[in-house]
Amino acid sequence: MSKSTSCYPQLSASSTGTSVVSHAGTVLLLRTAEKTGLAAALSTELAGFRKPLAHHDPGKILLDLAVSLAIGGDCLADIDQLRAHPEIFGSVASDPTVSRLISALAADADTALAAIGRARATARSRAWIAAGPAAPDHDIDEHHPLIVDIDATLVTAHSDKESAAPTFKRGFGFHPLCAFVDHGTDGTGEPVAMLLRPGNAGSNTAADHVTVVQDALAQLPSDPAYRVGKKVLVRIDGAGGTHSLIEYLTERRLS
């Protein structure tokens, strides 16, 4: 008999109508995180942030927070939705424990973000391999490139938040720059990178676009070399028409 190494309880389904639980749909998210290796990769990459004798794993805490967002949460405290259902989510960290972890990650943000990025890349590679011919990078070449779309969006803040600022649309909030892999007409966009920016960030800031392109390429399972080649097409609207960005894309041989 094999023993599960999952950090989440094993569930079984029946038609009896007993032992009914809320948020059962989140099991799909949890199993996806497990099957793609995201749960294990987060635990491995964030091991350095785990205190000696700590009960809760930093990787699981972050995964729990991500799931809390998926079921409607909008702040750290909303992890209590998971804590109320240990039969689905297992042991969930307390609010003080979550707060301490976020503080520790923020104190060394570059290391934390790099670790999370590696975990995401590991999971994406496994998912795309499992997808086989349906994977976005299957048989890509100069004539059928992998397409990465980059664009900014405005996110409204309804109260004063850290880094929130007036936007060019006369609103107030944030102006993140995002990168998505295009799945074509048969799919949706797959988020690969995002640069969080204040609301007054420029639409055509070349340095920000270069950063997002770098982060997006680092997420591709094909692990492209510096000179990527025409097999990857980067699509950007007029905000990408700066000399610095065009020169960078040309240097890396990107379409």
- pTM, two decimal places: 0.87
pLDDT of residue 1: 42
pLDDT of residue 14: 59
Pairing assessment for the beta strands 172-174 and 165-166 based on DSSP bridges: antiparallel
Q: What is the SS3 assignment for 152?
A: strand
How far is Cα 147 from Cα 83, in angstroms, rounded to an integer?
39
How far is Cα 189 from Cα 197, in angstroms, rounded to an integer?
21
pLDDT of residue 113: 96
Dihedral angle of Cα 122, 127, 133, 134, to the nearest 10 degrees? -120
pLDDT of residue 6: 72
Q: How far apart are the first and last CA of the chain?
A: 51
Show the tokens assigned to 27: 């099991």
Show the tokens assigned to 51: 């205190």
Per-residue confidence of the chain (255 residues) as pLDDT tens digits? 445 567 777 766 656 656 566 677 888 899 999 999 999 999 999 999 999 989 999 999 999 999 999 999 989 999 999 998 888 899 999 999 999 999 999 999 999 999 999 999 999 999 999 999 999 999 898 899 999 999 999 999 999 999 999 999 999 999 999 999 999 887 788 999 999 999 999 999 999 999 999 999 999 987 666 777 788 999 999 888 899 999 999 988 887
How far is Cα 145 from Cα 123, in angstroms, rounded to an integer?
22
For the purposes of burial, counting CB atoms within 10 Å of the CB of 234, is it exposed (0-12), middle (13-18) or buried (19 or more)?
buried
Q: How many angstroms separate the most distant Cα atoms in the chain?
A: 65
pLDDT of residue 245: 94
